[in-house]
Amino acid sequence: MRITVLGSGTSHGVPVIGCKCPVCTDTDPRDKRYRSSIMVEEGGSRIVIDTGYEFRLQMLRENVSGLDAVLYTHSHADHVSGIDDLRVFSRERNLPIYGNAETMQFIKEHYAYAFDKDSFPGNPHLVPNVLAPLEEVSIAGIKVIPLPLEHGRVKKMPVYGYRFSSFAYLTDCTFIPPAVFEALKGVRTIMIGALRKTAHGAHFSFDEAYAAAKKAGADRIYFTHINHETGCEEINSLYEDAESAYDTMVLEV
Ligand SMILES: [Zn+2]
Ligand SMILES: [Zn+2]
Ligand SMILES: [Zn+2]
């Protein structure tokens, strides 16, 4: 299975508009981060997780001409706002999208035109599917287990992480329930959201994400959803067995 990092940045992206900080102005290409998203490819099938603001640019950069499905983690704007560009991938047939009940409800309400059978032909044509937590399903022949996570320490938003065989993608979380650690048994590689060095109300810090990934038994750990306070080079010096994901990174898992 091939994992391509389409984006590894937090909601502002990196660089942040107008910011002159050392990370936003440095020349390391790994510190240019689109909003977080990955592409999963196996056996001729291709799915993406989330369609943020740069979805079109990400598809162009990776030269993608077809998609079988989209999985959504949650409905925050940095994860769904590129949804209209799914029109390209739903010309020939309706494109299935998946997520938890809250996310599918939000998308159906805010992008109602994409679900109207009699809509304008140029619109996206999407089919919503609610996934049950912790129940393995096969999507375009790729087996996936939705992992319910909490995003936010006070106001908690339900988010799905996803496990594919020995790989798991967990972003935008501040709490991983015991049942999810159970469901992560046997995972080798984890890509996990980590905003910055210090704690944040809606995201793990590097230390918290690292501890969670170690607790889950991962031996390859990649941070994603990173903000502009920490450059890739510095993140890679924090732990011996964890590193920063960066846009265009490819993992074979
Ligand atoms: Zn986010
Ligand atoms: Zn900055
Ligand atoms: Zn979020």
DSSP structure string for 149-189: EEE-SSS-EEEEEEEETTEEEE-S-SB--HHHHHHTTT--E
- Domain at 2-252: CATH code: 3.60.15.10
Ligand 2 (single-atom ion) residues, CB below 5 Å: 16, 19, 21, 24, 228
Tens of pLDDT, residue by residue over 122-137, are 899 999 999 999 999 9
> How far is the centre of ligand 3, averaged over its atoms, from the C-alpha of 111 (Å)?
18
* CA gap 210, 190 in Å, rounded: 10
Return the domain boundaries, the chain.
2-252
Average pLDDT over residues 24-52: 98
Per-residue pLDDT tens digits for 162-176:
999 999 999 999 999
Question: 233: CA distance to ligand 3 center in Å?
Answer: 25
CA 172 to ligand 3 center in whole angstroms:
5
Q: Is the pLDDT of residue 118 over 90?
A: no
Question: How far does the centroid of ligand 2 lie from the alpha carbon of residue 110, in Å?
Answer: 31
How far is CA 125 from its chain centroid? 22
pLDDT in tens, 215-234: 999 999 999 999 999 999 99
Say how far apart CA 26 and CA 71 lie, in whole Å.
33
- Asked whether the beta carbons of 124 and 114 are under 8 A apart, the reply is yes
The model's pTM: 0.98
Measured in Å, residue 129 CA sits from the centre of ligand 3 at 20
234-246 tens-digit pLDDT:
999 999 999 999 9
Distance between CA atoms of 27 and 162, rounded to whole angstroms? 33
